[in-house]
Amino acid sequence: MKIIIDTDPGIDDGLAIMLALACPEFDILGLTTIFGNVPVELATENALRLLDLAGRSDIPVSQGAAKSWETPYGGAKSAVHGEDGQGNLFSPTSAQKPLETTAAEFIVSQISKFPNEVTLIALGPLTNLADALKHDPEIQHKVKEVLFMGGNAFCAGNTNPVAEANILADPEAADFVLGHHWPMTMVGLDVTQKTYIPSKLIAELAAIPSAIGNQVFGAYRHYLKFYKEVNQMDGTWIHDSSVFTYLLNKELYRTSEYPILVETADCISRGKTWPSIKDYSFIAGQENPWLGRPKVNICDDVNGKKAVSLLKNRLMNATFPIEK
Ligand code: RIB
Ligand code: CA
């Protein structure tokens, strides 16, 4: 499966990238980076470093948007991900450099080069995907599948009571992406917050020697501390990795299909992903703002224990270089 990973690493992004690298099913065409957990320049550095540590510097990295369509970048989420987005490990930078092409150009070029073969995966704000669509709307007919970690259909948000972080970071771009007729799956908080990885399992995975494991699970110490302080949890949810556990075994997930609108007004529900869960056309003369929008495949339930076992097995059986 040819995939592109659009990412803002980010501690849970790091785990997701490691998981993807551990799976021979995935042929990673490239990583594209986006502002979010950290400024985009740092996201790019982190992406390059993670690939380096995994011995996969052959995978190209392309830098994307530095801010959302409408608002300035709100700053790094250092309380969650550390000043460096990697749990304050401040590891040495990679000698590798990103491509000259932008993330949007890279996405367009790969989808055009391999029509109906590329699965596009977004683990951060949807700005690069929206920019790619603007650049060449034809990609919506040529992509195989689009999956994104983000949004909350039937549960509360995680940045405020109504919105999820990735969607709230650029609601206009998210609404633009969700308004296009391409095959989309939303892997949002409805399922990621039912997929719990205990700190004991993180420690087990950290004990397997590898350079990328040292980075990823070293960073998790910071993430676990945050979860303990804020959520009183002795573990964390796996947000970004859930896209890969879904792709690896779709049977673990229940899905439903609805058109989605993203709230873009400057109001308390800005960034909320609203699925149209019922047909109200029986009310004469009432406008339907969802009319003509494509249906999105929404992951709304998961066997979280099995999803975490899947992640565990894949990481336990992977071979990565021990030293950088
Ligand atoms: O809401 C979870 C998302 O926000 C994840 O992608 C995580 O990396 C953070 O950016
Ligand atoms: Ca992310």
Alpha carbon distances (Å) from 126 to 129, 175, 236, 294, 312? 5, 9, 24, 17, 28
Neighbours of ion ligand 2 (CB under 5 A): 8, 10, 13, 123-124, 240
Report the SS3 class of residue 56: coil
Q: Is residue 281 part of a domain?
A: yes
C-alpha to C-alpha distances, 307 to 152, 166, 252, 298, 313, nearest whole angstrom: 19, 22, 7, 17, 10
Instruction: Give me the domain span that covers residue 161.
Output: 2-316
Strand order in the sheet with 273-275: 61-63, 27-33, 2-7, 118-122, 145-149, 184-187, 295-302, 253-262, 273-275
Q: Determine the average pLDDT of the residues in 121-142.
A: 98
Q: 3: phi > 0 → left, psi -120 to 50 → alpha, else beta; which? A: beta
Confidence of residue 203 (pLDDT cuts 50, 70, 90): very high
Is residue 323 domain-resident? no
pLDDT at 1: 97
Q: Is the CB of 80 under 6 A from ligand 1?
A: no
Question: Active-site residue 239, yes or no?
Answer: yes
> Is 138 within a domain?
yes
Candidates 190, 175, 191; CA nearest to 129 is: 175
Ligand 1 atom nearest to CA at 165:
1
pLDDT tens-digit map of 73-82:
999 999 999 9
Ligand 2: distance of its center to the CA of 13 in Å? Answer: 5
Q: pLDDT category, 281, cuts 50, 70, 90? A: confident
pLDDT band at 304 (very low <50, low <70, confident <90, very high): very high
Q: What is the residue type of 4?
A: I
Count of the separate structural domains present in the chain: 1
Q: Whose CA is nearest to atom 10 of ligand 1?
A: 37
Rounded Cα distance, 47 and 115, in Å = 26
Cα 10 to middle of ligand 2, angstroms: 6
Closest to 5 measured CA to CA, from 20, 25, 23: 20
239 touches 196 (CB < 8 A): no
Probe residue for ligand 1, chosen from 19, 37, 190 as the CB with the greatest number of ligand atoms within 8 Å = 37
Pocket test for ligand 1, best of 5, 8, 237 (most atoms within 8 A of CB): 8
Pairing assessment for the beta strands 118-122 and 145-149 based on DSSP bridges: parallel
- Burial class of residue 174 (count of CB atoms within 10 Å of its CB; 0-12, 13-18, 19+): buried
Ligand 1, closest atom to CA 81? 8
Check residue 172 and give its pLDDT: 98
In angstroms, the Cα distances linking 124 to 127, 131, 164, 254, 288 are 9, 14, 11, 23, 29
Instruction: State whether the beta carbon of 190 lies less than 6 angstroms from ligand 1.
Output: no
pLDDT of the residue at 324: 81
pTM, 2 dp:
0.97
Strand ranges (E), the chain: 2-7, 27-33, 61-63, 118-122, 145-149, 184-187, 196-198, 235-237, 253-262, 273-275, 295-302
Q: Are 53 and 80 in contact (CB under 8 A)?
A: no
pLDDT in tens, 220-233: 999 999 999 999 99
Average pLDDT across the chain, whole number: 97
324 within a domain of the structure (yes/no):
no
pLDDT digits (tens, 9 = 90+) for 53-98: 999 999 999 999 999 999 999 999 999 999 999 999 999 999 999 9
pLDDT in tens, 172-192: 999 999 999 999 999 999 999
pLDDT recorded at residue 323: 87
Name the strand (E) or helix (H) holding 21.
helix 11-22
* Number of other CB atoms surrounding residue 101 within 10 Å: 16
CA of 259 to the centre of ligand 1 (A): 22
Question: What CATH number did the domain enclosing 280 receive?
Answer: 3.90.245.10
Would 322 be classed as within a structural domain?
no
> Tens of pLDDT along 15-35?
999 999 999 999 999 999 999
- Whether 190 is covered by a domain: the verdict is yes
**Is 117 part of any domain?**
yes
Residue 45 lies in a domain: yes
